[in-house]
Structure 1
Amino acid sequence: MDTLIFATNNQHKVDEIRLVLGSRFNIITLKESGIDIDIPEPHDTLEANATEKSSVIHKLTGKNCFSEDTGLEVAALNGAPGVKSARYAGESRSFDANIDKLLKEMEQNSSREARFRTIISLILNNKEFIFEGICPGTITMERKGSNGFGYDPVFIPDGSTRTFAEMTMEEKSVFSHRKKAMEKLIAFLSDV
């Protein structure tokens, strides 16, 4: 079984990715690998931030690793919050404050189109590979559901009538942007 370090401190993301990967790969979190750092995300694109995170961990450990960066991109807000999704309402990274700000900015918008986009940066044998997953959907007028994290209570994926927060993790994975990116990563690793 191949071991990969997942460059994140977000346990929700770890749980989602372990669900997708099953037992095919041994995913080691930063904490499990004894790394206690918060990797900065200083860049203007999801791709650059994902690369930053995987590069930092690879330089620290010399081991195969991957990272991901995900953003909610709302058409009516010119792609915002995008790369700033986790800190949309400020550095505190408050899910509730981020949702409050998003709903306030969307109050007068009839166009509710949005998408979640995930970029995975894999560093394998000292080379980087990039994978993308997209989940199109719409922003609701108010919060619905209590599962998940982030913007899940206000995002309905195309093909559903429920928000991510109204779904179990298994139901969410049917639509998940993160799963789509992970499936590309798995397909790639299966061919290596």
Structure 2
Amino acid sequence: MKPFHLVTSNENKLKEFQRFGLQNIQIEKGRDLPEVEADPFTVILYKSLEAGEQRIVEDTSLHIEGEKVGVNIRWLLDFISNFSGKKATWEVLLGVHNGETITTYQGLIHGVITDKYKEEPKGFGFDAYFIPDGSTETLYDLECKGEKDLFSARKKAVEFLQNAQSIREVKIQDIPAWTGTMQHEK
């Protein structure tokens, strides 16, 4: 059996995946894949199709109480401090394409948004704005102390993958061609 390749275009995510000690999975930098404008599960299905067979892809969402952010967090980072004090959930989905099905694994971390670093953003993504439940520090602060992985939705998703605890499996033949818009399409 050919090995699976976990592919991401994001250098910071690449470093995190390398820390997780994935077994029997090769980690590599890939191209930035186009993403459909839809819910997280639909995004990961079509991203997996685009990546191809024997590939594992990741998609991150940040669900903020009462706001429409979700899969579009990448495009809304400049506004995240406006949501300070609101509850949020960091969601990471992994899509595994084996040629017949796409299997999805999910990691969730609940927390709250802060504007602690509003004037001088730090870290990558929303790390400086998210305080996970069970901590009083942002993901950025935890990363500086080498403790981010204890509160990582990405690591949780990887653990579920390694333990074969999926949340959804879809036959590729049952996925229709995408006819909708793409994220950040102009």
TM-score normalised according to structure 2 size? 0.77
Once the two structures are TM-superposed, the CA of residue 102 in structure 1 deviates from its matched residue by 2.0
Native 8 Å contact 1:5 1:29 kept in 2: no
Aligned to 1:52: 46
Unaligned runs of 5+ in 2: 166-186
Q: Which residue of 2 aligns with 1:143?
A: 117
Pair 1:25-2:3 in alignment: no
1:85-120 Cα shifts (integer Å, max 9, x gaps): 1112xxxxxxxxx2x41223x36xxx5211101111
- The equivalent residue for 1:103 is 81
3-state secondary structure, aligned to 2:8: coil
Q: Distance in 1 between matches of 2:25 and 2:35?
A: 26
CA contact (8 A) 2:93 2:105 kept: yes
**Matched positions, count:** 163
- Identify the residue that residue 92 of structure 1 maps to in structure 2: none
Give the corresponding residue for 1:186.
162
Amino acid at match of 1:122: V
| 1:1-192 paired onto structure 2 within 5 Å | 3-22=3-22, 24-30=24-30, 37-58=31-52, 63-77=53-67, 80-88=68-76, 98=77, 100-104=78-82, 106=83, 111-143=85-117, 148-168=123-143, 170-188=146-164
**How many percent of aligned residue pairs carry the same amino acid?**
28
Higher helix proportion: 1
- TM-score scaled by structure 1? 0.75
How far is 1:43 from its partner?
Answer: 2.5
Task: In structure 2, give the amino acid aligned to 1:16.
Answer: E
Q: Where does the alignment leave 5 or more consecutive residues of structure 1 unmatched? A: 31-36, 89-97
How far apart are residue 20 of structure 1 and its match?
Answer: 1.1
